Amino acid sequence: MSTIQTKELDGAVFRWEEAKGVFRFEGDDAILFWLNSAFKTFLDTLEEVSGKEAADVVLETTGYRMGIIVGEYFFHSGQEPEMVLAHLPDTYAAAGWGRFEVTEMNSDEAVAVVRMKNSWEYRVNKLQDKDNGGTFIPGHFAGLFSGIFNKNIWYEVKSSQAEGEAYCEFVFSPSDVTVTQNIHQLARGREQREIADLEKKVQQRTEELSEKIKAISSPIIPVLDQVVVIPLLGHYDEMRSKELLEKTVNEITSYKASYLLLDLTGLKKEISEYGLSMIMQLTSATHLLGIETVLVGISPSLSMKMAKLNQIVGDVRCFSTLQHGITYALKKEGLSIC
């Protein structure tokens, strides 16, 4: 028995060289896959690993590049497009790609319309329970016509067998769209989504931290009857100054305090105009509530900073330490610490 067998079907030549384990189609090395198992598994895995959007671009790009190899071969052979497309449908059908026909073609304008039934991609998509058409076949014919017409051609899907139509119909015409452009667009789209996701996470985290800061920042601490202390820590910008002012005015009356000691020890020499303005506003607001505000923990460098910013303390009592401020409040109430 011969180890080499050759068969011809509709002009397409198949050759098996069993001794070498080689299969040839139209003179070139080829391989056979089962669509409903091996090739479906390949496509399922591709989509699982890279995601549907990326898998569609990969298949579209692969189809295009395979198509342009075929198209450029015929273009350089000098054959007219009409002649090429007269026998290609039988070749593709013999290879199991499905049956297609070119229903319209204008070589001068590089425009063509293709109808296709039962393509291998449609059959695999059906096995995958997909209700939309794939990208390999239209991408492949876009590459084929790009090679035949010697200009960039892209496609538009007019009907899809996967979506219940009797056949797939694709319109091919000159376009600025390229597979390279699609790859870059996919990368940019992913990058933009990643940036958007990151920005969303940052915003959520910032909001969470802001809420925590509000809860712990400059707490009102009752130290004795009628005496509360608020330690000022860190930098006070416009927002933080406003939050502290509103929080203090809204909550301080619940402590039934007569004296509010603002401890500036944690500010050291750094204080902003917003911080100084907040101190002055807080002093005025608590005065209207019948509470005397006392400033404690003012360092020499901080006092110079306040003087340079032309902030006038006026009648507000100031002490160098918290202990002195508490002692002052107790004496005003006729009390002392035993």
Distance CA 288, CA 178 (A): 72
Counting the structural domains of the chain, the total is 3
| Same domain membership, residue 84 and residue 21 | no
| Same domain membership, residue 41 and residue 173 | yes
**104 secondary structure, DSSP code:** E
In a domain, 6, yes or no: yes
- Please tell me the predicted confidence (pLDDT) of residue 275: 84
CATH number of the domain where residue 153 is located: 3.30.1380.20
| Same domain membership, residue 278 and residue 152 | no
CB 110 within 8 A of CB 151: yes
Distance CA 230, CA 234 (A): 13
Q: Which residues pair with 255 in a beta bridge?
A: none
- Please tell me the predicted confidence (pLDDT) of residue 312: 56
DSSP secondary structure, 212-266, as one string: HHHHHSS--EEEETTEEEEE--S---HHHHHHHHHHHHHHGGGGT-SEEEEE-GG
In a domain, 1, yes or no: yes
* Residue of 165, 158, 128 whose CA lies nearest to 52: 128
Rounded to the nearest 10°, the torsion over CA 59, 63, 64, 68 is 160
- Lookup: tokens for 178: 């390229």
Distance CA 77, CA 299 (A): 91
- Please tell me the predicted confidence (pLDDT) of residue 149: 94
Q: 3-state class of 67 per DSSP? A: helix
Q: What residue has token string 């014919």?
A: 141
- Lookup: tokens for 285: 């607001």
The range of the structural domain enclosing residue 131 comes to 33-177
The residue out of 149, 177, 205 marking a domain boundary is 177
- Please tell me the predicted confidence (pLDDT) of residue 2: 61
Question: What's the distance, CA 229 to chain centroid?
Answer: 47
Strands 259-263 and 227-231: parallel
In a domain, 209, yes or no: no
**4 secondary structure, DSSP code:** E
| Same domain membership, residue 111 and residue 169 | yes
| Same domain membership, residue 160 and residue 91 | yes
| Same domain membership, residue 160 and residue 39 | yes
- Please tell me the predicted confidence (pLDDT) of residue 268: 61
| Same domain membership, residue 111 and residue 41 | yes
Q: Which residues pair with 261 in a beta bridge?
A: 229, 294
Q: What residue has token string 């507000």?
A: 316
| Same domain membership, residue 300 and residue 255 | yes
From first to last of the 338 residues of the chain, give the pLDDT tens digit: 568 899 888 778 889 998 888 989 888 898 888 888 888 998 999 999 988 888 999 999 999 999 999 999 888 888 888 888 888 999 899 989 999 999 999 999 999 999 999 999 999 999 999 988 899 999 999 999 999 999 999 999 999 999 999 999 999 999 988 888 877 776 676 667 666 777 777 677 767 666 665 555 568 889 888 899 999 887 888 888 888 888 899 999 999 999 999 998 887 666 788 888 888 899 999 999 999 999 998 888 877 777 766 555 667 888 888 899 999 988 888 876 65
| Same domain membership, residue 41 and residue 4 | no
